[in-house]
């Protein structure tokens, strides 16, 4: 009976030697060493042997199994190495090809506009000052000279928290108070800052209004600051932002924290003032609220209004981005739709 085992070994060894690819090798394994492979069957058949042959046969069958397993593992390694070498030679990987570009993402359109703001205001001597988004009612309203029952304090505008007096700021103007108190050294130092950041309002979301939006506040405090400084500074900004031909105009308005107060328009840069859909045929686009800092606000910031004066303005970067790119719906800004964001 051991003769059959010996011829099985010779046959299997020849088959292994002839195997030159992983596929053939796998077929060989199945044929000899698989669950129903011939070597395994041979080992299993010991039970059916006549008693006196069993020990010798079983021993030899096991030896052959172990020898073939070892030979198989060696062969497998050799074939793998040969195949790898062959693939490399065949140039499946061309290391000289330029790499595929990695998508690095991009900046949000509001970030582009904010960076334009920082750059332009820096050339005019304004530093960036970050105030807080979570504010207290006093700083957001009372210290900014809002009369006690001013409609802007009511529920439909302000997002309150469950803590009394803690709200989300509805505009960046409370940063005026914090900036003056922190940088003014008890009303003894001039200030030139812009205050960018997110503001929140409890409002119906529409194409024109969102519950969150950026503002960029500007504040300039000094001993001889006049309205001409405000007008000249804003006019310079408009030229840098919209082009050297940009014209601005100021319209009387009202804010509790500035007196006098003005709204700033820039001549429509899309139609050159001729009138178009974006400017609603007015020829002008509103870009900011502004005014001379109210004496009460100066005082609340630690300055003596008899000696110090200042101007302030507030701009909406999303609004300006919309005007610049003809975006007709503010909801695109926070919808996280890549089809929108990837255009910038």
- Residues in contact with ligand PHE by CB under 6 A are 171, 173, 217, 255, 258, 289-291, 312-314
Longest CA–CA span in the chain (Å) reads 123
Q: Which residues, at least 6 apart from 30, have a Cβ–Cβ distance to it below 8 Å?
A: 37
* Least distance to ligand PHE, CB of residue 291, Å: 5
| Residue 72 or 200 with smaller CB distance to ligand PHE | 200
* Least distance to ligand PHE, CB of residue 257, Å: 6
Query: Token pair for residue 14?
Result: 């020849």
In the bound complex, which residue of the shown chain has the CB atom lying closest to ligand PHE?
A: 314
| Residue 109 or 310 with smaller CB distance to ligand PHE | 310
* Least distance to ligand PHE, CB of residue 310, Å: 10
Q: Are 106 and 341 in contact (CB under 8 A)?
A: yes
Q: Are 216 and 118 in contact (CB under 8 A)?
A: no
- Whole-angstrom distance, CA of residue 317 vs CA of residue 213: 8
| Residue 260 or 273 with smaller CB distance to ligand PHE | 260
| Residue 28 or 213 with smaller CB distance to ligand PHE | 213
| 234 three-state secondary structure | helix
- Whole-angstrom distance, CA of residue 46 vs CA of residue 214: 85
* Least distance to ligand PHE, CB of residue 279, Å: 20
| Residue 37 or 314 with smaller CB distance to ligand PHE | 314
How far is CA 140 from each of CA 71, 94, 136, 166, 192, rounded to the nearest angstrom? 82, 63, 6, 10, 20
How far is CA 2 from each of CA 46, 138, 335, rounded to the nearest angstrom? 11, 101, 79
Beta 258-267 vs 191-200: how paired, if at all?
A: unpaired
| Residue 290 or 321 with smaller CB distance to ligand PHE | 290
* Least distance to ligand PHE, CB of residue 119, Å: 21
* Least distance to ligand PHE, CB of residue 213, Å: 10
Q: At what angle do helices 109-123 and 227-242 cross, to 10 degrees?
A: 130
| Residue 71 or 296 with smaller CB distance to ligand PHE | 296
* Least distance to ligand PHE, CB of residue 94, Å: 59
- Whole-angstrom distance, CA of residue 120 vs CA of residue 239: 10
């Amino acid at each position: 009976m051991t003769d059959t085992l010996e011829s099985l070994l010779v046959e299997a060894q020849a088959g292994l030697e002839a195997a030159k690819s992983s596929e053939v090798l796998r077929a060989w394994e199945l044929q000899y060493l698989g669950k129903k492979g011939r070597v395994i069957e041979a080992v299993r058949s010991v039970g059916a042997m006549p008693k006196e042959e069993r020990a010798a046969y079983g021993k030899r069958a096991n030896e052959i199994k172990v020898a073939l397993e070892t030979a198989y593992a060696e062969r497998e390694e050799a074939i793998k190495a040969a195949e790898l070498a062959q693939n490399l030679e065949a140039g499946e990987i061309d290391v000289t090809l330029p790499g595929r570009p990695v998508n690095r993402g991009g900046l949000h359109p509001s970030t582009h506009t904010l960076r334009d703001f920082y750059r332009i205001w820096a050339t005019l001597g304004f530093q960036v000052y970050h105030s807080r988004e979570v504010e207290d009612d006093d700083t957001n309203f009372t210290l900014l000279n809002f009369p006690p029952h001013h409609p802007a304090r009511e529920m439909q505008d302000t997002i309150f928290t469950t803590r009394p007096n803690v709200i989300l700021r509805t505009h960046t103007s409370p940063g005026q108070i914090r900036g003056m108190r922190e940088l003014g050294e008890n009303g003894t130092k001039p200030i030139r800052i812009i205050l960018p950041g997110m503001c929140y309002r409890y409002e119906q979301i529409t194409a024109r209004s969102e519950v969150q939006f950026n503002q960029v506040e500007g504040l300039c405090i000094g001993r001889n600051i006049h309205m001409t400084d405000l007008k000249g500074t804003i006019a310079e900004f408009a030229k840098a932002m919209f082009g050297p031909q940009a014209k601005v105009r100021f319209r009387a308005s009202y804010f509790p924290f500035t007196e006098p107060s003005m709204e700033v328009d820039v001549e429509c840069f899309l139609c050159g003032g001729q009138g178009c859909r974006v400017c609603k045929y007015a020829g002008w686009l509103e870009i900011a609220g502004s005014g001379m800092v109210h004496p009460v606000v100066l005082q609340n910031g630690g300055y003596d209004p008899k000696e110090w004066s200042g101007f302030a303005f507030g701009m909406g970067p999303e609004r300006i981005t919309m005007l610049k790119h003809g975006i007709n719906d503010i909801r695109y800004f926070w919808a996280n739709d890549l089809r929108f964001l990837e255009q910038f």
